[in-house]
Amino acid sequence: MCTKHEACSTTKNSMANPQAVSCSSLKITAIRAAGVDSNEEGCCGSRECASNDPDDEPAQLTFVKTQFNQSWKIEGMDCPSCARKVETALKKVGNVIDAKVLFATEKLVVKFNTEEAALEIEQAVRNAGFTAHRIDATNPVSAPIHSDWKSVIKQNAQILSIAGAMILAAIVQPYFPQISDGMFILTCLAGLYPIGKKAIQLARSGTPFAIETLMSVAALGALYLGETVEAAMVLLLFLIGERLEAFAASKARSGVQALMALVPETATKIVAGERITVAAHELKPGDVVEVSPGSRLPADGQLHEASASFDESALTGESLPVERYQGDSIMAGAVVADQVVRFTITSKQGENAIDRILHLIEEAESRKAPLERFLDKFSRWYTPLMMLVSLAVVVIPPTLFAQPWETWVYRGLALLLIACPCALVISTPAAITSGLAAAARRGALIKGGAALEQLGKIESIAFDKTGTLTKGKPEVTDVVALNGWDEEQLLRYVAAVEMGSSHPLATSLVKKVQAMALPIPEAIEKRALVGSGVSGVVEGKSLRVLAPSKANVPFSDAFSAQVEALEMQGKTVVVVFEQENIVGLIAWQDTLREDAKAAIEALRRLGIDTIMLTGDNPRSAATMSAQLGIDFKASLLPQDKVEYIQQLAQQKQVAMVGDGINDAPAMKAASIGIAMGGGTDVALETADAAITHNRLVELATMIELSQATLANIRQNVTLALGLKSIFLVTSLLGITGLWVAVLADSGATALVTLNALRLLKFKK
């Protein structure tokens, strides 16, 4: 499969165009500025996508069934129930393979088989009562425009008209009661028309038990009973509640929409030395762009200037400007702080740092928390059940106990309004969306409600050492040549064997040799000795570079003392062998992250146990452990880390924090995996959360935010069910009427959403 794209569908079909294969870039891994890949190929240009059959004949026609991926912006959604209504409507559209509505970004993503299906999809969305706008390069999703007073009046024209008509009818009531009743009836019917129309649309689209249906039945029932004032009041309160829900929903999306606004709409492109203003979506890799101080970068790129300062606070949570140097990667959305800069674009459309964060948030929405999944299922039978209860309330007392029909029909209608599950459905996703957005603002990305919920339950955290607790930039500190070798020869030969490795120790050594301008010879028969070191042949000499504990040969007392002394200083030591002869040793030392100790102390205050897992030698690990005040396990192979995490996970909820490929299996084995933002793509893909700015001290804050989100969810569910229960009883007893039932529904929905919005202001 194409490594850059999630899917390239190639099923055979005798009537399809073999070249019309659509690929959608949905899988996002790296959370940093896109770099330049000299080996980059087009979609499905890699060998994984190509046929491996040598007998394939070019002249032979191969037909494939086309698969299209398209996104739309959906307008008119007030809560996750609306998103589910759209998905239900699209299930009835032919040729639709999969449809997913992302409420947080108001985005619909559909996979379908025929080009004509796109129009059917848009029509299905309209039939469900919503509006769909196609998203592409020329029509990207944009941040919301703040409304002026004219547009606000236009949006609320129906509410204002009904309210005005009701006020007029109330004024006329003492003088002309019949005219007043007629005005209330007309007002009610006028307000009911759009609601009833949408109820019919939703019923045809597969959602017969929508709030619009319940409201229409309740209003018509009130009119039948002669309660004209109450019928009109019910509709007015419902419409006001809808507007409040829409407002609350837009506030809940504000964190995500703020990210969308970080990329400017235009950019200054340099062509033949001249400045040309172009749309940001027209930029492509290789273009040179100029940005003035105070402006944001329109794409990821590589800096031309010798140095420049950038404000990346909106992306990483780092409040102070960061210094970047010539050739460094810089991220879309960052603000130029001190001078005019030029840079070369490195990111394709839809693949810059902002896009990757948005994609991760969208991906996160599909990973629902267990409680959210339960409430979704619960809400699907809650409304039909409540409708049956309402019917029973209407029928049983009059038929079995000779009670007046009017009284119990009225109470049944009130119960019908309480049957709407909106407040319950939105209680969890509203809190999770706010929690995810608050985390993103602080430079932490959490992949979904399930991960957010799990993070709040963590009891123990295991850390990788190199690149996680340390900076991951070890420096060569000691070179000792033995048995007739000199230091330069030792460095050159070991660099030859280590050349091409991505291990921090190897890259550090190679850079040192290159900085010394020493020629590095060619090594052959290079081989990684898992958990031990590397081997290779250089200029006819067979070399092995091994950890002292893996050498399996006796050392002299003097040599052992030398190795032990270096390890006691917290250094990592390797022994170099030619055949079976020791020809030298090399030592590196990595430095702790400035905030590592503070991070461990913050976690300890939360009652979370911490431990360091490392493949380094026990003496070096003990030295670093003492500095941090953390337990440790040393000399661990990747599989040893996995086994330890699995054992620990049987006793408590455990997180694994790492940054490298070798950490990925242990992160997968943990209850939740957390990656450092500067880590490998494999680690970031495996992880359930990532710290984009590499500040370990924010890990405790991330956990506190998760705990606050869980508490918020409990509050919301209690509030939603509590209000429903209270007004269920009061409606049955006849204490409250229809309009109070509407307030119970819309008010509860608005309250739980506003309560969830408090998470956006979360402070440690």
464 is catalytic: yes
Which three-class secondary structure state does DSSP give residue 330? strand
pLDDT at 210 > cutoff 70: yes
- Here the tokens at position 453 are 């919920």
pLDDT at residue 628, as a whole number: 93
Fold of 444-470+592-692: Rossmann fold (3.40.50)
Q: Could you read off the pLDDT of 238-289 as tens digits, one per residue? A: 888 777 767 766 665 665 666 677 788 899 999 998 999 998 888 999 999 9
pLDDT at residue 550, as a whole number: 82
Q: Could you read off the pLDDT of 423-460 as tens digits, one per residue? A: 777 788 778 878 887 887 777 888 777 888 889 999 99
Higher pLDDT, 205 or 283: 283
pLDDT band at 33 (very low <50, low <70, confident <90, very high): very low
Out of 390-399, 498-507, 707-716, least confident range = 498-507
Q: List the CATH code of the domain at 475-589.
A: 3.40.1110.10
pLDDT band at 680 (very low <50, low <70, confident <90, very high): low
- Cα distance between residue 548 and residue 535, in whole Å: 14
pLDDT at residue 11, as a whole number: 36
pLDDT at 9 > cutoff 70: no
Kindly state the average pLDDT of the residues 544-557.
Answer: 87
pLDDT at residue 423, as a whole number: 78
Kindly state the average pLDDT of the residues 141-156.
Answer: 63
Q: Locate CATH 3.40.1110.10 in the chain.
A: 475-589
pLDDT at 127 > cutoff 50: yes
Query: Whats the size of the chain, residue-wise?
Result: 764
Kindly state the average pLDDT of the residues 628-642.
Answer: 89
Q: Of 416, 434, 429, 448, nearest to 82 (Cα)?
A: 429
Q: How much is the pTM?
A: 0.65
Q: Could you read off the pLDDT of 317-364 as tens digits, one per residue? A: 555 677 888 988 888 888 998 889 999 999 888 788 777 777 766 665
Higher pLDDT, 504 or 712: 712
Buried b (16+ CB within 10 A) or exposed e, 321-331: bbebeeebbbb
Kindly state the average pLDDT of the residues 500-527.
Answer: 89
- Here the tokens at position 185 are 């009836």
Q: Locate CATH 3.30.70.100 in the chain.
A: 67-141
DSSP state of 469: I
pLDDT at residue 367, as a whole number: 63
Kindly state the average pLDDT of the residues 474-503.
Answer: 91
- The amino acid that residue 553 corresponds to is V
The structure tokens 């959210």 sit at 372
Q: List the CATH code of the domain at 264-351.
A: 2.70.150.10
Distances (CA, A) of 647 to 163, 434, 639, 671: 65, 34, 12, 12
Task: Please check whether residue 4 is in contact with residue 49, taking contact to mean a CB–CB distance below 8 angstroms.
Answer: no
pLDDT at residue 366, as a whole number: 61
Q: Locate CATH 3.40.50.1000 in the chain.
A: 444-470+592-692
pLDDT at 22 > cutoff 70: no
pLDDT at residue 54, as a whole number: 37
Q: Which residues contact 10 (CB under 8 A, 6 or more apart)?
A: 21, 64
pLDDT band at 574 (very low <50, low <70, confident <90, very high): very high
Out of 65-79, 163-177, 238-252, 732-746, least confident range = 238-252
Higher pLDDT, 434 or 19: 434
pLDDT at residue 322, as a whole number: 79
Percent share of the chain, pLDDT over 70: 82
- Cα distance between residue 352 and residue 441, in whole Å: 17
Percent share of the chain, pLDDT over 90: 29
pLDDT at 637 > cutoff 90: no
- Here the tokens at position 395 are 């029928």
pLDDT at 237 > cutoff 90: no
H/E stretch holding 586: strand 581-589
pLDDT at residue 276, as a whole number: 93
pLDDT at 133 > cutoff 60: yes
pLDDT at 86 > cutoff 70: yes
Kindly state the average pLDDT of the residues 508-518.
Answer: 93
Task: Please check whether residue 251 is in contact with residue 244, taking contact to mean a CB–CB distance below 8 angstroms.
Answer: no
Across the chain, mean pLDDT equals 81
Kindly state the average pLDDT of the residues 681-701.
Answer: 78
Q: Of 446, 434, 444, 436, nearest to 759 (Cα)?
A: 434
Task: Please check whether residue 4 is in contact with residue 43, taking contact to mean a CB–CB distance below 8 angstroms.
Answer: yes
Q: Of 245, 409, 92, nearest to 748 (Cα)?
A: 245
Kindly state the average pLDDT of the residues 47-67.
Answer: 43
pLDDT at residue 49, as a whole number: 37
CA 737, 741, 744, 747 torsion-angle sign? negative
pLDDT at residue 368, as a whole number: 65
Q: What are phi and psi of 741, to 5 degrees?
A: -65, -40
- Cα distance between residue 747 and residue 740, in whole Å: 10
Q: Locate CATH 2.70.150.10 in the chain.
A: 264-351
* Given 464, 659, 663, 688, the catalytic residue: 464
Decide yes or no: CATH 3.30.70.100 for domain 67-141: yes
Q: Could you read off the pLDDT of 365-383 as tens digits, one per residue? A: 566 667 777 777 777 787 7
